[in-house]
A and B are shown apart, each in its own frame.
Chain A
Amino acid sequence: MARLNVNPTRMELSKLKKKLESARRGHKLLKDKRDELMRQFMILIKENRQLRSEVETAIAEADKYMAVAGSVMQREVLETALMIPKQEVELEVSEKNVMSVYIPEFRTKYKTSDTSDIYSYGTAFTSTDLDGAVSALSEVFPKMIRLAEVEKACQLMADEIEKTRRRVNALEHIMIPDYEETIKYITMKLSENERNTTTSLMKVKDMVLQQKHNYH
């Protein structure tokens, strides 16, 4: 801990006292912010983990179908079947403010009104495994969008929590102790000066009295 480099005057003392007060208030506020962010983060990260394992299993399942489809169909036929999609997905993005962290929210919009209308090919030349793969993917897609939302939110919040924690620590362990020490130093210096003045006054008074009345 280091004392700040300031002149020991009353002016500085009152300035520092004000600073200390706002540092304490800031510390309390940031601490509350950190705690609340952490609470929200823990809820989200649980959802994130859950969603991720669900999505990963579902995609693995779809990939299995896809692998089979790829083995029974010619590569070109498979690619052609999927080349011109019937469905088109667009996202509407809005913002949500969680403790001053702006996290995105996604809303999916489909081009065709029937969301199950996803098969871009006739059934004559394609394997049923391809149908399986496509329907498995379309089933998990809403979860994938939610995962994108949650994962981004977690990343942004983790970043903000880290920043806030650093600020809280800097205030708690550096700025506030420094202010306190400097205030103590100035107070002591000032009272020391005061005692100094008192003693020299007493001394002068003695000298004057001695000169005038010959007191001892």
Chain B
Amino acid sequence: MYKVAVIGDSASVSGFAALGLSVFRETEPQKISKLITRLAANDFAVIYITEPAAALVSDTINKYRNSRLPSIVLIPAIKGNTGDGMRAVHEAVEKAVGSDILKN
């Protein structure tokens, strides 16, 4: 059985605890990076991470980009949407098609 994790600052991720997801309140780059590596090795299939937290550890996240699990998904933090999540979608299009054909 696989589990679901949420990483981010306390205010953004607390709500997910009620849904029964494993919530990790971390804001330091090294700790987040280590945490992701540990979660990936420990049966976490989906990791939701807030955009500001993800921006600190983009290297670690890119490492898991092409592996089948875990699926790391950016979600907006309580401070607002930075657009990083949508940017990742556009990057995928650019990689596949050669240019961003969805941009308008």
Chain A interface residue count, CB cutoff 8 Å, equals 61
Interface digits, B13-25 against A, CB 8 Å rule (1 contact, 0 not)? 0111111110000
Chain B interface residue count, CB cutoff 8 Å, equals 41
Contacts A56-B76, A60-B76, A83-B17: A155 and B45 contacting too (C-beta < 8 A)? no
Contact status A55-B75, CB under 8 Å: yes
Contacts A154-B89, A157-B96: A63 and B1 contacting too (C-beta < 8 A)? no
Nearest Cβ in chain B — how far from A44, in angstroms?
10
A156 to B69, CA, bound (A): 11
A156 to B67, CA, bound (A): 8
Interface of A is mostly: helix
Interface residues of B (CB under 8 A from A): 1-4, 10-12, 14-21, 45-46, 48, 65-66, 68-69, 71, 73, 75-78, 80-81, 85-86, 88-89, 92-93, 95-98, 102
Contact status B102-A49, CB under 8 Å: yes
Contact status B78-A155, CB under 8 Å: no
A88 to B20, CA, bound (A): 4
A115 to B55, CA, bound (A): 33
Q: Which of B14, B73, B80, B89 contacts A82 (CB 8 A)?
A: B14
Contact status A87-B68, CB under 8 Å: no
Contact status A90-B73, CB under 8 Å: no
A41 to B98, CA, bound (A): 13
